[in-house]
Amino acid sequence: MFPIRDDNPHFLIPYVTYGIIALNIVAWVFAQGLGTEPALSKSVCLLGLTPGELLNTLPAGTRFQVGPNTYCVLTGSSSLHTLVTSMFMHGGWMHIIGNMWFLWIFGNNVEDSMGHVRFALFYVLCGLAAAAGQILSNPDAAVPMVGASGAIGGVMGAYIVLYPRVHVHMLVFLGFFVTTFAVPAVFMLGYWFLLQLIGGVGSIGAQGGGTAFWAHVGGFAAGAVLVWIFKNPDLLNRHPYHGWNQQKSPTQNWRRIR
Protein backbone atom coordinates (compact mmCIF):
# COMPACT_ATOMS: atom_id res chain seq x y z
CA MET A 1 0.00 0.00 0.00
CA PHE A 2 1.25 3.45 -0.89
CA PRO A 3 -0.44 6.82 -0.12
CA ILE A 4 -1.16 8.96 -3.19
CA ARG A 5 -3.06 11.90 -1.66
CA ASP A 6 -5.23 13.01 1.23
CA ASP A 7 -8.56 14.84 1.40
CA ASN A 8 -7.25 17.74 3.43
CA PRO A 9 -7.12 21.40 2.31
CA HIS A 10 -4.23 23.64 3.29
CA PHE A 11 -4.25 27.40 3.60
CA LEU A 12 -0.60 28.43 3.83
CA ILE A 13 1.94 27.90 1.09
CA PRO A 14 4.13 25.21 2.75
CA TYR A 15 7.47 26.94 2.21
CA VAL A 16 9.29 24.88 4.85
CA THR A 17 8.03 21.58 3.45
CA TYR A 18 9.17 22.65 -0.02
CA GLY A 19 12.48 23.83 1.43
CA ILE A 20 13.15 20.53 3.23
CA ILE A 21 12.42 18.58 0.04
CA ALA A 22 14.74 20.91 -1.89
CA LEU A 23 17.56 20.49 0.64
CA ASN A 24 17.27 16.71 0.44
CA ILE A 25 17.41 16.83 -3.35
CA VAL A 26 20.42 19.18 -3.29
CA ALA A 27 22.21 16.82 -0.88
CA TRP A 28 21.35 13.83 -3.08
CA VAL A 29 22.73 15.55 -6.18
CA PHE A 30 25.84 17.30 -4.87
CA ALA A 31 26.88 15.36 -1.75
CA GLN A 32 25.78 11.88 -2.84
CA GLY A 33 26.35 12.07 -6.58
CA LEU A 34 22.82 10.90 -7.43
CA GLY A 35 23.58 7.60 -5.74
CA THR A 36 26.75 6.84 -7.71
CA GLU A 37 29.95 5.48 -6.21
CA PRO A 38 32.18 6.50 -4.55
CA ALA A 39 30.17 9.63 -3.66
CA LEU A 40 27.31 7.65 -2.10
CA SER A 41 29.46 5.55 0.22
CA LYS A 42 31.66 8.51 1.14
CA SER A 43 28.64 10.64 2.08
CA VAL A 44 27.18 7.84 4.20
CA CYS A 45 30.49 7.45 6.06
CA LEU A 46 31.12 11.16 6.63
CA LEU A 47 27.59 12.50 7.09
CA GLY A 48 25.64 9.48 8.36
CA LEU A 49 25.06 8.97 12.08
CA THR A 50 27.11 6.13 13.57
CA PRO A 51 26.03 5.52 17.21
CA GLY A 52 29.31 3.86 18.20
CA GLU A 53 31.29 6.82 16.94
CA LEU A 54 28.96 9.47 18.39
CA LEU A 55 29.08 7.90 21.86
CA ASN A 56 32.71 6.77 21.59
CA THR A 57 31.71 3.22 22.44
CA LEU A 58 33.79 1.87 19.54
CA PRO A 59 37.55 2.36 19.18
CA ALA A 60 39.05 4.48 16.43
CA GLY A 61 39.91 2.37 13.41
CA THR A 62 36.74 0.25 13.54
CA ARG A 63 35.64 -0.52 9.97
CA PHE A 64 32.27 -1.28 8.41
CA GLN A 65 31.59 -2.02 4.77
CA VAL A 66 29.06 0.33 3.17
CA GLY A 67 29.65 -0.28 -0.51
CA PRO A 68 31.61 -2.33 -3.01
CA ASN A 69 35.20 -2.20 -1.78
CA THR A 70 34.28 0.79 0.41
CA TYR A 71 34.59 0.87 4.19
CA CYS A 72 33.73 3.44 6.84
CA VAL A 73 36.63 3.85 9.24
CA LEU A 74 35.83 5.43 12.60
CA THR A 75 38.23 8.24 13.45
CA GLY A 76 37.34 8.73 17.11
CA SER A 77 36.70 12.45 16.50
CA SER A 78 33.52 14.35 17.35
CA SER A 79 30.61 13.58 15.04
CA LEU A 80 27.85 15.69 16.59
CA HIS A 81 27.15 17.30 13.23
CA THR A 82 25.88 13.95 11.95
CA LEU A 83 22.79 14.26 14.17
CA VAL A 84 21.59 16.81 11.60
CA THR A 85 23.40 15.89 8.39
CA SER A 86 22.14 12.29 8.55
CA MET A 87 18.57 13.62 8.13
CA PHE A 88 19.45 14.77 4.61
CA MET A 89 21.37 11.70 3.41
CA HIS A 90 19.81 8.67 1.71
CA GLY A 91 20.86 5.20 0.67
CA GLY A 92 19.32 4.96 -2.80
CA TRP A 93 16.79 6.30 -5.27
CA MET A 94 13.77 4.51 -3.77
CA HIS A 95 14.82 5.65 -0.30
CA ILE A 96 14.79 9.36 -1.15
CA ILE A 97 11.75 9.17 -3.45
CA GLY A 98 9.68 7.35 -0.82
CA ASN A 99 10.66 9.73 1.96
CA MET A 100 10.02 12.88 -0.06
CA TRP A 101 6.68 11.55 -1.25
CA PHE A 102 5.48 10.93 2.32
CA LEU A 103 6.66 14.41 3.33
CA TRP A 104 4.85 15.89 0.32
CA ILE A 105 1.59 14.13 1.28
CA PHE A 106 1.56 14.91 5.01
CA GLY A 107 3.93 17.83 5.57
CA ASN A 108 1.82 20.66 4.18
CA ASN A 109 -1.10 20.12 6.56
CA VAL A 110 1.14 19.79 9.62
CA GLU A 111 3.00 22.97 8.63
CA ASP A 112 -0.42 24.57 8.11
CA SER A 113 -1.29 23.85 11.76
CA MET A 114 1.91 25.39 13.17
CA GLY A 115 3.19 28.08 10.85
CA HIS A 116 6.53 28.06 9.09
CA VAL A 117 9.00 28.73 11.91
CA ARG A 118 7.38 26.36 14.40
CA PHE A 119 7.21 23.61 11.81
CA ALA A 120 10.91 23.96 10.93
CA LEU A 121 11.87 23.60 14.59
CA PHE A 122 9.38 20.76 15.06
CA TYR A 123 10.87 18.85 12.13
CA VAL A 124 14.43 19.12 13.44
CA LEU A 125 13.41 18.05 16.95
CA CYS A 126 11.59 15.01 15.56
CA GLY A 127 14.70 14.11 13.60
CA LEU A 128 16.81 14.35 16.75
CA ALA A 129 14.29 12.22 18.66
CA ALA A 130 14.44 9.64 15.87
CA ALA A 131 18.23 9.56 16.12
CA ALA A 132 17.95 9.10 19.89
CA GLY A 133 15.56 6.18 19.43
CA GLN A 134 17.95 4.39 17.10
CA ILE A 135 20.99 5.13 19.29
CA LEU A 136 19.26 3.77 22.38
CA SER A 137 18.34 0.57 20.54
CA ASN A 138 22.01 -0.15 19.77
CA PRO A 139 24.54 2.34 21.19
CA ASP A 140 27.49 0.25 19.97
CA ALA A 141 26.38 0.12 16.33
CA ALA A 142 29.05 0.71 13.69
CA VAL A 143 26.43 1.00 10.93
CA PRO A 144 25.80 4.59 9.76
CA MET A 145 22.16 5.70 9.86
CA VAL A 146 20.90 7.93 7.04
CA GLY A 147 17.52 9.16 5.90
CA ALA A 148 14.79 11.68 6.55
CA SER A 149 12.26 9.01 7.53
CA GLY A 150 12.69 9.52 11.29
CA ALA A 151 11.81 13.21 11.06
CA ILE A 152 9.05 12.45 8.57
CA GLY A 153 7.77 9.86 11.05
CA GLY A 154 7.37 12.80 13.44
CA VAL A 155 5.30 14.60 10.80
CA MET A 156 3.07 11.53 10.51
CA GLY A 157 2.79 11.31 14.29
CA ALA A 158 1.55 14.90 14.34
CA TYR A 159 -0.83 14.24 11.45
CA ILE A 160 -2.54 11.31 13.18
CA VAL A 161 -3.16 13.53 16.23
CA LEU A 162 -4.39 16.53 14.23
CA TYR A 163 -6.39 14.88 11.44
CA PRO A 164 -7.24 11.29 12.46
CA ARG A 165 -10.42 11.03 10.38
CA VAL A 166 -9.19 12.64 7.18
CA HIS A 167 -9.18 10.15 4.31
CA VAL A 168 -5.89 9.07 2.78
CA HIS A 169 -6.09 7.52 -0.68
CA MET A 170 -3.97 4.41 -1.05
CA LEU A 171 -2.56 2.73 -4.14
CA VAL A 172 -2.70 -1.05 -3.64
CA PHE A 173 -0.91 -3.70 -5.69
CA LEU A 174 -2.54 -7.14 -5.63
CA GLY A 175 -0.37 -9.11 -8.00
CA PHE A 176 -1.18 -7.81 -11.50
CA PHE A 177 -4.27 -6.00 -10.19
CA VAL A 178 -3.87 -2.39 -9.06
CA THR A 179 -6.59 -0.44 -7.28
CA THR A 180 -7.10 2.50 -4.94
CA PHE A 181 -9.14 3.00 -1.81
CA ALA A 182 -9.44 5.62 0.91
CA VAL A 183 -9.09 5.00 4.65
CA PRO A 184 -9.03 7.37 7.63
CA ALA A 185 -5.53 8.60 8.47
CA VAL A 186 -5.69 6.94 11.89
CA PHE A 187 -5.87 3.52 10.20
CA MET A 188 -3.21 4.12 7.56
CA LEU A 189 -0.69 5.82 9.86
CA GLY A 190 -1.53 3.55 12.80
CA TYR A 191 -0.84 0.54 10.58
CA TRP A 192 2.50 2.08 9.51
CA PHE A 193 3.49 2.69 13.13
CA LEU A 194 2.55 -0.87 14.10
CA LEU A 195 4.79 -2.21 11.34
CA GLN A 196 7.69 -0.14 12.66
CA LEU A 197 7.16 -1.49 16.19
CA ILE A 198 7.08 -5.07 14.93
CA GLY A 199 10.16 -4.48 12.81
CA GLY A 200 11.94 -2.81 15.72
CA VAL A 201 11.30 -5.72 18.07
CA GLY A 202 12.46 -8.14 15.39
CA SER A 203 15.66 -6.17 14.82
CA ILE A 204 16.80 -6.31 18.46
CA GLY A 205 20.21 -7.93 18.57
CA ALA A 206 20.58 -7.97 14.78
CA GLN A 207 23.93 -7.02 13.26
CA GLY A 208 24.60 -5.23 9.99
CA GLY A 209 22.52 -2.78 7.99
CA GLY A 210 18.80 -2.61 7.38
CA THR A 211 15.86 -0.37 8.24
CA ALA A 212 16.21 1.94 11.25
CA PHE A 213 12.87 0.91 12.76
CA TRP A 214 13.53 2.48 16.15
CA ALA A 215 14.29 5.80 14.50
CA HIS A 216 10.84 5.65 12.91
CA VAL A 217 9.25 4.77 16.26
CA GLY A 218 11.12 7.53 18.09
CA GLY A 219 10.28 10.15 15.48
CA PHE A 220 6.60 9.18 15.32
CA ALA A 221 6.21 9.21 19.10
CA ALA A 222 8.00 12.56 19.39
CA GLY A 223 5.78 14.09 16.72
CA ALA A 224 2.60 12.85 18.41
CA VAL A 225 3.73 14.52 21.67
CA LEU A 226 5.40 17.68 20.37
CA VAL A 227 2.43 18.61 18.19
CA TRP A 228 0.54 19.59 21.35
CA ILE A 229 3.22 22.20 22.03
CA PHE A 230 3.82 23.43 18.48
CA LYS A 231 0.31 23.56 17.02
CA ASN A 232 -1.26 27.00 16.65
CA PRO A 233 -4.98 26.82 17.57
CA ASP A 234 -5.81 29.86 15.43
CA LEU A 235 -4.32 28.21 12.35
CA LEU A 236 -5.69 24.77 13.14
CA ASN A 237 -9.25 25.96 13.71
CA ARG A 238 -9.49 27.02 10.07
CA HIS A 239 -9.35 23.36 9.09
CA PRO A 240 -12.79 21.80 8.70
CA TYR A 241 -11.50 18.28 9.33
CA HIS A 242 -9.23 18.48 12.36
CA GLY A 243 -9.79 16.37 15.46
CA TRP A 244 -12.32 13.64 16.13
CA ASN A 245 -15.43 15.75 16.47
CA GLN A 246 -15.93 16.77 12.84
CA GLN A 247 -18.21 15.40 10.20
CA LYS A 248 -16.87 12.68 7.94
CA SER A 249 -14.57 14.25 5.39
CA PRO A 250 -15.53 13.86 1.72
CA THR A 251 -13.30 11.85 -0.58
CA GLN A 252 -12.31 14.40 -3.17
CA ASN A 253 -9.07 15.92 -4.35
CA TRP A 254 -8.74 19.19 -2.47
CA ARG A 255 -6.65 22.01 -3.82
CA ARG A 256 -4.98 24.70 -1.73
CA ILE A 257 -7.57 27.23 -0.51
CA ARG A 258 -6.48 30.81 -0.98
Task: Domain 2-236: give its CATH code.
Answer: 1.20.1540.10
Q: Which of 9-18, 116-125, 146-155, 205-214 has the lowest mean pLDDT?
A: 205-214
User: What pLDDT is stored for residue 258 in this prediction?
Assistant: 41
**186-196 pLDDT tens trace:** 999 999 999 99
Q: Which of 41-45, 85-89, 138-142 has the highest mean pLDDT?
A: 85-89
pTM: 0.90
**68-122 pLDDT tens trace:** 677 778 777 778 999 999 999 999 999 999 999 999 999 999 999 999 999 999 9
CB atoms within 10 A of CB 231: 21
- Rounded CA gap, 72 and 67, in Å? 9
DSSP, residue by residue, 100-168: HHHHHHHHHHHHHHH-HHHHHHHHHHHHHHHHHHHHHH-TT--S-B--SHHHHHHHHHHHHHH-TTSEE
Whether the CB-CB separation of 133 and 150 falls below 8 Å is answered with yes
User: What pLDDT is stored for residue 248 in this prediction?
Assistant: 52
Q: In which band, very low, low, confident or very high, does the pLDDT at 255 lie, cut at 50, 70 and 90?
A: very low
Cα dist from 13 to 96, 106, 111, whole Å: 23, 14, 9
**18-40 pLDDT tens trace:** 999 999 999 999 999 999 988 99
Domain coordinates of the chain in residue numbers? 2-236
